[in-house]
Copies of this chain bind each other. A is one copy, B any other.
Amino acid sequence: MKSKPLILITNDDGITAPGIRTLISIMNEIGDVIVIAPDSPQSGMGHAITLDSTIYCDAVTIDEGEQLEYRCSGTPADCVKMAISEVLNKRPDLCVSGINHGANSSINVLYSGTMSAAIEAGIEGIPAIGFSLLDYSWHANFDKLKEHIKKIALEVLENGMPDGVVLNVNFPKIEENDFKGIKICRQARANWVEEFDKRTNPQGKEYYWLTGKFVNLDHGEDTDVWALENDYISVVPVHLDLTAHHFITELNSWNL
Protein backbone atom coordinates (compact mmCIF):
# COMPACT_ATOMS: atom_id res chain seq x y z
CA MET A 1 0.00 0.00 0.00
CA LYS A 2 1.25 3.45 -0.93
CA SER A 3 2.19 5.51 2.12
CA LYS A 4 0.26 8.67 2.94
CA PRO A 5 1.60 11.91 1.47
CA LEU A 6 3.47 14.30 3.76
CA ILE A 7 1.74 17.70 3.73
CA LEU A 8 3.30 20.93 5.01
CA ILE A 9 0.86 23.67 6.08
CA THR A 10 1.54 27.34 6.76
CA ASN A 11 -0.19 30.71 6.44
CA ASP A 12 0.25 34.42 7.14
CA ASP A 13 -2.63 35.09 9.54
CA GLY A 14 -0.91 33.18 12.33
CA ILE A 15 -1.15 29.60 13.59
CA THR A 16 -4.38 30.13 15.58
CA ALA A 17 -6.38 31.67 12.70
CA PRO A 18 -9.61 29.81 11.83
CA GLY A 19 -8.48 29.63 8.18
CA ILE A 20 -5.42 27.49 8.92
CA ARG A 21 -7.33 25.39 11.46
CA THR A 22 -9.85 24.55 8.70
CA LEU A 23 -7.04 23.73 6.26
CA ILE A 24 -5.45 21.39 8.83
CA SER A 25 -8.71 19.50 9.33
CA ILE A 26 -9.08 19.01 5.56
CA MET A 27 -5.49 17.87 5.04
CA ASN A 28 -5.66 15.42 7.97
CA GLU A 29 -8.09 13.46 5.76
CA ILE A 30 -5.49 13.20 2.99
CA GLY A 31 -2.07 12.77 4.52
CA ASP A 32 0.39 13.16 7.37
CA VAL A 33 0.31 16.81 8.31
CA ILE A 34 2.99 19.06 9.73
CA VAL A 35 2.22 22.70 10.50
CA ILE A 36 4.89 25.39 10.75
CA ALA A 37 3.19 28.74 10.87
CA PRO A 38 3.81 32.26 12.19
CA ASP A 39 3.14 32.85 15.88
CA SER A 40 1.51 36.20 15.02
CA PRO A 41 -0.23 37.80 12.03
CA GLN A 42 2.05 38.45 9.04
CA SER A 43 -0.34 39.84 6.45
CA GLY A 44 1.30 42.00 3.79
CA MET A 45 4.73 40.52 4.54
CA GLY A 46 5.24 39.57 0.88
CA HIS A 47 8.36 37.48 0.33
CA ALA A 48 10.21 38.94 3.33
CA ILE A 49 12.79 36.74 5.06
CA THR A 50 14.49 37.33 8.40
CA LEU A 51 18.14 38.27 7.87
CA ASP A 52 18.89 40.74 10.67
CA SER A 53 17.10 39.06 13.53
CA THR A 54 16.80 35.74 15.33
CA ILE A 55 14.07 33.17 14.69
CA TYR A 56 12.32 31.01 17.29
CA CYS A 57 10.51 27.80 16.35
CA ASP A 58 8.74 25.76 19.02
CA ALA A 59 6.55 22.65 19.06
CA VAL A 60 3.02 23.46 20.19
CA THR A 61 -0.35 21.74 20.60
CA ILE A 62 -3.38 23.80 19.67
CA ASP A 63 -6.20 21.33 19.10
CA GLU A 64 -6.83 17.62 18.98
CA GLY A 65 -5.99 16.70 15.38
CA GLU A 66 -3.26 14.26 14.34
CA GLN A 67 -1.01 16.99 12.93
CA LEU A 68 2.35 17.99 14.39
CA GLU A 69 2.64 21.74 14.90
CA TYR A 70 5.34 24.37 15.35
CA ARG A 71 4.88 28.08 15.86
CA CYS A 72 7.60 30.23 14.38
CA SER A 73 8.57 33.84 15.03
CA GLY A 74 9.61 34.32 11.39
CA THR A 75 7.78 35.30 8.22
CA PRO A 76 5.70 32.86 6.13
CA ALA A 77 8.69 32.32 3.77
CA ASP A 78 10.92 31.68 6.82
CA CYS A 79 8.41 29.03 8.02
CA VAL A 80 8.78 27.08 4.77
CA LYS A 81 12.59 27.33 4.86
CA MET A 82 12.58 26.24 8.52
CA ALA A 83 10.31 23.27 7.74
CA ILE A 84 12.39 22.00 4.85
CA SER A 85 15.88 22.64 6.23
CA GLU A 86 15.48 22.08 9.96
CA VAL A 87 12.27 20.38 11.07
CA LEU A 88 11.38 17.76 8.46
CA ASN A 89 13.56 14.76 7.78
CA LYS A 90 11.99 14.14 4.38
CA ARG A 91 10.67 16.42 1.68
CA PRO A 92 6.95 17.15 1.80
CA ASP A 93 4.83 15.93 -1.13
CA LEU A 94 2.69 19.07 -0.97
CA CYS A 95 2.70 22.48 0.70
CA VAL A 96 -0.59 24.29 1.29
CA SER A 97 -0.82 27.83 2.61
CA GLY A 98 -3.88 29.58 4.05
CA ILE A 99 -6.81 29.59 4.13
CA ASN A 100 -6.15 33.31 3.98
CA HIS A 101 -8.71 35.64 5.52
CA GLY A 102 -9.02 38.00 2.53
CA ALA A 103 -8.29 38.16 -1.20
CA ASN A 104 -4.95 37.25 -2.77
CA SER A 105 -6.10 37.71 -6.36
CA SER A 106 -4.51 40.01 -8.93
CA ILE A 107 -1.62 42.18 -7.71
CA ASN A 108 -2.17 41.04 -4.12
CA VAL A 109 -0.12 37.96 -4.96
CA LEU A 110 2.97 40.17 -4.59
CA TYR A 111 2.06 41.53 -1.14
CA SER A 112 0.71 38.28 0.25
CA GLY A 113 2.61 36.31 2.86
CA THR A 114 0.30 33.36 2.17
CA MET A 115 1.23 33.25 -1.51
CA SER A 116 4.92 33.94 -0.82
CA ALA A 117 5.00 30.85 1.39
CA ALA A 118 3.57 28.80 -1.48
CA ILE A 119 6.07 30.35 -3.90
CA GLU A 120 8.91 29.59 -1.46
CA ALA A 121 7.85 25.92 -1.55
CA GLY A 122 7.83 26.18 -5.35
CA ILE A 123 11.40 27.50 -5.28
CA GLU A 124 12.30 24.37 -3.31
CA GLY A 125 10.64 22.21 -5.98
CA ILE A 126 7.64 21.23 -3.84
CA PRO A 127 4.12 21.31 -5.36
CA ALA A 128 2.28 24.10 -3.57
CA ILE A 129 -1.09 25.84 -3.35
CA GLY A 130 -2.21 29.04 -1.66
CA PHE A 131 -5.89 29.22 -0.65
CA SER A 132 -7.74 32.46 0.13
CA LEU A 133 -11.34 33.47 0.85
CA LEU A 134 -12.62 36.94 -0.02
CA ASP A 135 -13.77 37.56 3.54
CA TYR A 136 -11.51 39.39 6.00
CA SER A 137 -13.60 38.38 9.00
CA TRP A 138 -11.95 36.22 11.66
CA HIS A 139 -15.31 34.43 11.85
CA ALA A 140 -15.64 33.78 8.10
CA ASN A 141 -17.50 30.62 7.13
CA PHE A 142 -15.12 28.18 5.44
CA ASP A 143 -17.56 25.25 5.20
CA LYS A 144 -18.38 25.59 1.50
CA LEU A 145 -14.67 25.58 0.61
CA LYS A 146 -13.82 22.21 2.11
CA GLU A 147 -14.75 19.80 -0.68
CA HIS A 148 -13.14 22.07 -3.31
CA ILE A 149 -9.88 22.44 -1.37
CA LYS A 150 -9.69 18.68 -0.89
CA LYS A 151 -10.28 18.03 -4.59
CA ILE A 152 -7.72 20.60 -5.74
CA ALA A 153 -5.10 19.24 -3.31
CA LEU A 154 -5.73 15.65 -4.50
CA GLU A 155 -5.40 16.73 -8.14
CA VAL A 156 -2.05 18.42 -7.45
CA LEU A 157 -0.82 15.32 -5.59
CA GLU A 158 -1.97 13.16 -8.53
CA ASN A 159 -0.65 15.28 -11.40
CA GLY A 160 2.31 17.07 -9.85
CA MET A 161 3.28 20.58 -10.93
CA PRO A 162 5.78 21.91 -13.49
CA ASP A 163 9.05 23.22 -12.03
CA GLY A 164 8.61 26.57 -10.34
CA VAL A 165 4.83 26.78 -10.76
CA VAL A 166 2.36 26.95 -7.85
CA LEU A 167 -1.39 27.56 -7.68
CA ASN A 168 -3.15 30.67 -6.36
CA VAL A 169 -6.71 29.68 -5.47
CA ASN A 170 -9.24 32.31 -4.38
CA PHE A 171 -12.83 31.73 -3.29
CA PRO A 172 -15.50 34.41 -3.65
CA LYS A 173 -17.64 35.21 -0.61
CA ILE A 174 -21.06 33.86 -1.42
CA GLU A 175 -24.03 34.04 0.90
CA GLU A 176 -26.39 31.56 -0.74
CA ASN A 177 -26.18 28.66 -3.20
CA ASP A 178 -22.78 27.25 -4.22
CA PHE A 179 -19.88 28.49 -6.30
CA LYS A 180 -20.59 28.56 -10.04
CA GLY A 181 -17.51 26.41 -10.69
CA ILE A 182 -13.76 26.73 -11.10
CA LYS A 183 -12.08 29.03 -13.65
CA ILE A 184 -8.43 28.77 -14.64
CA CYS A 185 -7.39 32.42 -14.93
CA ARG A 186 -4.62 34.90 -15.45
CA GLN A 187 -3.70 37.51 -12.82
CA ALA A 188 -5.71 40.71 -13.44
CA ARG A 189 -3.65 43.89 -14.05
CA ALA A 190 -4.93 45.96 -11.17
CA ASN A 191 -3.42 48.05 -8.40
CA TRP A 192 -4.13 49.81 -5.14
CA VAL A 193 -4.62 53.55 -5.08
CA GLU A 194 -3.22 54.48 -1.70
CA GLU A 195 -4.82 56.92 0.67
CA PHE A 196 -2.49 57.58 3.58
CA ASP A 197 -4.41 58.41 6.72
CA LYS A 198 -2.35 61.17 8.37
CA ARG A 199 -2.65 61.56 12.15
CA THR A 200 -0.82 63.21 15.04
CA ASN A 201 0.48 61.14 17.94
CA PRO A 202 0.15 62.20 21.61
CA GLN A 203 3.64 63.77 21.39
CA GLY A 204 2.55 65.97 18.49
CA LYS A 205 4.43 64.07 15.79
CA GLU A 206 2.76 63.23 12.47
CA TYR A 207 2.41 59.63 11.37
CA TYR A 208 0.48 57.65 8.76
CA TRP A 209 -1.65 54.57 8.32
CA LEU A 210 -1.52 52.92 4.91
CA THR A 211 -5.00 52.51 3.43
CA GLY A 212 -6.14 52.24 -0.15
CA LYS A 213 -8.70 51.35 -2.73
CA PHE A 214 -8.36 48.41 -5.13
CA VAL A 215 -8.70 49.59 -8.73
CA ASN A 216 -9.09 47.12 -11.58
CA LEU A 217 -8.83 48.58 -15.07
CA ASP A 218 -8.38 45.14 -16.63
CA HIS A 219 -11.70 44.18 -18.19
CA GLY A 220 -10.62 40.77 -19.51
CA GLU A 221 -13.03 37.94 -18.77
CA ASP A 222 -10.09 35.55 -18.35
CA THR A 223 -8.86 37.23 -15.14
CA ASP A 224 -9.11 36.11 -11.53
CA VAL A 225 -10.94 39.33 -10.59
CA TRP A 226 -13.62 38.67 -13.22
CA ALA A 227 -14.06 35.07 -12.07
CA LEU A 228 -14.43 36.08 -8.42
CA GLU A 229 -16.89 38.88 -9.22
CA ASN A 230 -18.98 36.29 -11.03
CA ASP A 231 -19.01 33.75 -8.16
CA TYR A 232 -16.42 31.40 -9.65
CA ILE A 233 -13.45 29.96 -7.75
CA SER A 234 -10.33 31.40 -9.45
CA VAL A 235 -7.20 29.29 -10.00
CA VAL A 236 -4.12 31.13 -11.31
CA PRO A 237 -0.93 29.19 -12.01
CA VAL A 238 1.86 31.41 -10.64
CA HIS A 239 5.54 31.08 -11.43
CA LEU A 240 8.72 32.37 -9.91
CA ASP A 241 10.40 33.42 -13.15
CA LEU A 242 9.74 37.16 -13.22
CA THR A 243 11.56 37.62 -16.54
CA ALA A 244 9.53 39.66 -19.04
CA HIS A 245 10.54 37.35 -21.90
CA HIS A 246 8.41 39.30 -24.40
CA PHE A 247 10.57 42.40 -23.91
CA ILE A 248 14.01 40.83 -24.36
CA THR A 249 14.19 41.26 -28.14
CA GLU A 250 13.27 44.94 -28.00
CA LEU A 251 15.65 45.58 -25.13
CA ASN A 252 18.46 44.11 -27.20
CA SER A 253 17.83 46.85 -29.77
CA TRP A 254 18.44 49.62 -27.22
CA ASN A 255 21.69 51.56 -27.24
CA LEU A 256 23.07 50.12 -23.98
Contacts and interface: CB of A to CB of B under 8 A. Distances in A.
Interface residue SS majority, chain A: mixed
B244 A165 contact: yes
Interface stretch (A1-9, A26-34, A46-54, A92-100): A46-54
Contact of A189 (B52, B81, B238, B241): B241
A151 B162 CA distance: 39
Contacts of A57: 208
A155 B82 CA distance: 42
A186 to B, nearest CB: 4
A61 interface: no
Given A191-B124, A237-B244, A45 B44 contact: no
Nearest to A168: B242
B50 A241 contact: no
A251 B238 CA distance: 12
Contact of A251 (B43, B184, B189, B195): B184
B46 A77 contact: yes
